[in-house]
Amino acid sequence: MIVMANRFTAIATAALAVAVTLPAGAAHADPTPVSPDTATPPAACDATRTPPSYTGEVPTPRSVLGFDLGEREVTTAESDTLLAAVDTASARVVSGTLATSAQGRPLRYAIVGTPKNIRSLPAIEAAIKTLRSPLTPEPAARALARRTPAILWVAGNIHGGEESGTDAALKTLYDLAGRDDCAARRILDNAVVVILPTQNPDGREADTRRNAYAFDMNRDWFARTQPETDGKIEMLRKYPPQLFIDAHEMGGTEYFFPPNADPIYHDIAEPTVSWINDVYGASMIAEFTRRGIPFFNRDVYDLFYMGYGDTVPVTGFNAAGMTFEKGGSSPIAARTFEQWLTQWVSLSAAADRRAEILTTWAGMHREAFKQGLAGQLEPNKVYNPGNEVITQVPDRRVRHYFLRADDRTKKAETEQIVRRLQRMDVQVFRLTRPLTVRDFKAYGRPEARTALPAGTYWIPMAQGQKHWVQAMLNEDTYTPFPYFYDVTAWSLPLLANVSGGSSGSVLLPAAAPVKPVAAPSGRITTSRKIGVLQLAGPAQAANESTGWLRHRLDRDWKLPYEVLAPADVAAGRLAGLDVLLVPDGPAATGNTALGDAGRTALREWVAAGGRYVGWAGGTQLAVLAGVSGVTLAEPTSDVPGSLFRTTVSQSPLGAGVGPDVMTFYAYDLVMRAADPSHAVVPYPAPDSPGWFVSGFAMGAEELGGTAAVVDEPVGAGHAVLFAADPNFRAFTDGTAKLVANAITADLPSTRAKAQAPAPDAARAAAAVPDRESPIRITVPAARKAEVAEILTGYGATWTEQPAPGGAVRFVVANPSGLSADEHPWAARLPAALRTANITPLAVTLPH
């Protein structure tokens, strides 16, 4: 066995070497010496107490904008103007555009360093690429680290209404370009700093959290559905960071910086957490304590979901990815200063340790390769006192992932996964001969001897991107701690409903590297006329779900559509439409806006042959309006955002989907069809072989036998209803195919044109709970009174529900649909529970 393992090591190394192109003579190359090693700064040179000294060569912000940074928030245009002016005046700066927003605004960046480092950027790129390769010998990496600058990123304003990160980033740019004191020189001598003042120019101009398609782009990082995200990550690949700062705002006036709250994703390189907590976190704690500035950490903001601007730099680039949050109730001057302070302190701490950081960074890639060879997954840990791991990573070797490519109906979805992996520098191969795997574990199935055909995609774990491979191809995220700032499942094959699995065996497959995969076309065609009913304008759920749908229709499917408001339905604008898509949103508000005339028009349109396709709030509206006879009930389970295998019946809705599909579910209402035969996609029985959940789920057995999707005949038309959003964040491609089929498929003909019966308004209203992104806290029943006291202190209103195991759940009203960042006190709830010594079973803050 040792011989086989050694042979596998040699072959895996050789295979990776084919796919990784290193600069000629990289092991010994000198990328033109770019900076001295100044790991020990002069004792008198304090990062923040050194008086700034400006050269006078760079124009001041006031001379360019007419006001000082921090005097008021800059506009996107003013930010671009100042960045360009600094670039023009300084040999330390080069700038460009890394993406264009949906509304056509540029995402402008600047790279700042010594003039020599700026001239040597191609050589620095090559050196960093060499350090990132796990094939670079340790002595060569150590020598290269001593003469290569670190790459440090500062990014702001991913949420458009959180402005001060931009203003502070511009202040950091101005100081690095224009100062000549020892504190500025120390950063410049040891790093090149990439500054992206605003990641969301459309949202900044509209003063909204989300972008023009209503995406929260701090949830989009792994999927890269938005051009702003995609261009940014391509730039990160060009200049891989050792530090990435993501500057946000939150409610209140305090400041958050790491250490983070639990949970923290298990398969990340441990040195990154040490950097975050013990280098940068410790430096900021010392500085803020010295200045008496209020701050907190180890609360609220976790490091788990792979859509954030900290988790992706950590897992995908082995960087210290950090979320900074400044309370938005402070004046802009205070917000700008404190954001600048955390940026400057962090950059200075990195500069002080440049050679050490780069050496460790290179070592992380070598260690990842070794872990992959051994099939070793990192275990779950908790990092904060008093917390305990609730789920451990299984003790099973994982050396390989495989994606089946023999289902031609899923070619586009499979190629999309491969493309996403390749565009994070993952090496993907394709079997050139069939391979028998004795311990193949298909997703959600037991291990079994399996013959994989030629053409199957093979992703070995033995590569520098091992952590990212596990994060993207996992069967489960093994949530270590029951606090949920966001969702708990995101595996690419499960989201896309692509068959695949893993193996822990030592295998020597005959395979060839896969050339870069082009973006697959998702275009669909239909002669049907499509309408989109938006239930409420600015409401978060309606705005997001409708935006995700518009993105899918515009960019992927390329289908024309007409957007309607409820008042348009009563005004007769359904005439001429064949399909009405009704995404999530506040159903009660939409029902009120429809009025009797709108409800009647909607029922008559469907009964006359129209096709109503709704999900979540859109399904609730169908019940309220009398279009559907499904029943809806509040869940008793705790499922903050997980993937469930559901069964797909043989019907036109299932064309190209397969016998089952992974359905994304997050506290959605439990749906039952009036006629069980209408449940075209049901949840299997919990004790059946088909039952499989990826992500956290407590009490989810209640879903067994209920309906995920219903196709209900209504007169001569159809109501196709989804309990949950099948197009969640536009990355649940598997269930999105069901929506495409609901638009294009010829569904079984129903009875002749008939008038749909008027609804029982009282029954319908009672059957459909009205909620908008509530806060949920599940605790043992014995702690009920104490939680109620905490919530009363916040002035909250809530309802109580039974929860699994005799527990109680508090569902706290959030009528404006605010996220945890925006809510006045939701972010502080976990700390309040901990102070009261209450160990919750689950805490879910609004996304």
Instruction: Please give the single-letter amino acid code of residue 261.
Output: A
Provide the 8-state DSSP code for 261.
P
Characterise 65 by phi-psi region: left (phi > 0), alpha (psi -120 to 50), beta (else): alpha
* Catalytic site residue from 254, 338, 413, 475: 338
- Residue 31 has what pLDDT? 45
Q: Do residues 624 and 593 make contact, with C-beta atoms less than 8 angstroms apart? A: no
Q: In which residue ranges of the chain is pLDDT below 50?
A: 1-11, 14-15, 17-40, 539, 752-758, 761-762, 766
Q: Do residues 585 and 554 make contact, with C-beta atoms less than 8 angstroms apart? A: no
Fold held by 8-19+59-370:
Aminopeptidase (3.40.630)
Joined together, the tokens standing for residue 605 give 């349109």
Q: Do residues 846 and 814 make contact, with C-beta atoms less than 8 angstroms apart? A: yes
Burial class (CB in 10 A: 0-12, 13-18, 19+), 268: buried
Query: Which residues does 64 contact at the CB level (< 8 Å), separation at least 6?
Result: 81, 82, 85
**Distance set, CA 261 to CA 30, 338, 386 (Å):** 41, 21, 12
- Residue 845 has what pLDDT? 85
- Residue 545 has what pLDDT? 95
**pLDDT (tens digit, 9 = 90+) per residue, 780-838?**
999 999 999 999 999 999 999 998 889 999 999 887 778 887 888 888 888 899 889 99
| Separation CA 608–CA 132 (nearest Å) | 62
Stretch (H or E) spanning 206: helix 201-206
Angle (CA) 252-323-214 rounded to 5° is 80
Q: Do residues 38 and 186 make contact, with C-beta atoms less than 8 angstroms apart? A: yes
- Residue 457 has what pLDDT? 98
| Long-range contacts of residues 24-28, Cβ cutoff 8 Å, at least 24 apart | 26/126, 26/129, 26/130, 26/133, 26/136, 26/140, 27/130, 27/136, 27/137, 27/140, 28/140
| Separation CA 460–CA 467 (nearest Å) | 12
Burial class (CB in 10 A: 0-12, 13-18, 19+), 655: middle
Class of domain 530-632+669-683+702-767: alpha beta
- Residue 770 has what pLDDT? 57
**pLDDT (tens digit, 9 = 90+) per residue, 224-270?**
999 999 999 999 999 999 999 999 999 999 999 999 999 999 999 99
Query: Which residues does 334 contact at the CB level (< 8 Å), separation at least 6?
Result: 253
Q: Do residues 158 and 217 make contact, with C-beta atoms less than 8 angstroms apart? A: yes
| Separation CA 646–CA 668 (nearest Å) | 15
Q: Do residues 210 and 547 make contact, with C-beta atoms less than 8 angstroms apart? A: yes
User: Domain ranges in the chain?
Assistant: 8-19+59-370, 390-513, 530-632+669-683+702-767, 775-844
Is CATH 3.30.2250 correct for 775-844? Answer: no
| pTM, full prediction | 0.94
Tell me the three state secondary structure of residue 592: helix
Pairing of strands 320-327, 255-256: antiparallel
| Separation CA 122–CA 109 (nearest Å) | 17
Main-chain phi, psi angles of 713, to 5 degrees: -65, 135
- Residue 543 has what pLDDT? 84
Main-chain phi, psi angles of 505, to 5 degrees: -75, 155
Burial class (CB in 10 A: 0-12, 13-18, 19+), 417: buried
- Residue 14 has what pLDDT? 46
Catalytic residue flag (residue 338): yes
| Separation CA 695–CA 666 (nearest Å) | 11
Q: Do residues 276 and 258 make contact, with C-beta atoms less than 8 angstroms apart? A: yes
Handedness of CA 20, 21, 22, 24 (dihedral sign): positive
Tell me the three state secondary structure of residue 838: coil
The sheet with strand 191-196 has its strands ordered as 93-100, 106-112, 191-196, 150-156, 243-250, 320-327, 255-256, 295-296
Handedness of CA 737, 743, 744, 745 (dihedral sign): positive
